[in-house]
Amino acid sequence: MGNKRSQVVWTYTYIIAVIVLAGVVTGAAPKKPVPVPFGKNYVPTWAFDHIKYLNGGSHIQLSLDKYTGTGFQSKGSYLFGHFSMRIKMVPGDSAGTVTAFYLASQNSEHDEIDFEFLGNRTGQPYILQTNVFTGGKGDREQRIYLWFDPTKAFHSYSVLWNLNQVVTISIWDSGSPSNQPMKIYSSLWNADDWATRGGLEKTNWSKAPFVADYKDFHIDGCQSSVNARYCATQGKNWWDQKKYRDLDDYQWRRLRWVRRKFTIYNYCTDRKRFPVMPRECKIDRDA
């Protein structure tokens, strides 16, 4: 993550969610992820026969056909930490498909930090949609075009979550997930009722199976029981330290560049849905 060819988009909500995309250094890059096989940290959750294991489980493929998609989750629940994996998205005509990478709690008052990569017709750019749920309430969607092709090579997608904030293309300082452990999930599924051009573009099943590739299933987090309310090692971990509590000036500039050039939708500026600007948007330098 820290070399001159890595580019990072910081996305938060009292987590610092980091999407390593294409090519520039950042000020306070997270520690380099430790690549480990899928089975060390993760287990399948559904349609086990739609997950293919390669190279001893260090590389897996999720597949989607007209009958089912598939997904997996972390073995443990975590209250803060750094979570990373490398993904190569569904290539070609991927309209209607969604590749999701997210954190979610298991309790009744649902917390979630959500990244969904929306497929498109061949030659059209992928769209990244983010959302955040706190206490069961979401409706914090943002969408951007990806300015690189996520199907040509593996790219690292990471979440750095600490007690101070989360980044999701807008900034949150309160009302964001902070006292419920979450599991890490990923899935590949059909959402052609909404995913591409609001559902106008349907999944072309003649192109199935649709395949997404994964490597390097890194977890460095505070593992906690589902009902825990604090991390026993709070303040002692590298991702708790001061330099990871906010974006530096360089990272703010990179975030503004992404917003200005690639934003499709930002709930912070949607006055039909939010006549009064949501509180977290008021501290956002670009809202």
Judge whether 236 and 112 are in contact, CB under 8 Å.
no
Place of tokens 């990179």: 254
Nearest-CA neighbor of 163 among 215, 222, 104, 116? 222
Whether residue 209 has a cis bond before it, omega within 30° of 0 = yes
Distance separating alpha carbons of residues 145 and 183, to the nearest angstrom: 27
Distance separating alpha carbons of residues 179 and 257, to the nearest angstrom: 32
How are strands ordered across the β-sheet holding 112-118?
A: 42-46, 70-74, 183-190, 97-104, 112-118, 127-133, 142-145, 263-266
One DSSP character per residue, 245-271 reads SS--HHHHHHHHHHHHHHEEEEGGG-T
Residues annotated as part of the active site:
112, 116
3-state secondary structure 130-169: EEEEECCECCCCEEEECCCCCCCCCEEEEEEECCCCEECC
- DSSP state, 92? S
3-state secondary structure 193-224: CCCCHHHCCCCCHHHCCEEEEEEEEEEEEEEE
Distance separating alpha carbons of residues 24 and 45, to the nearest angstrom: 36
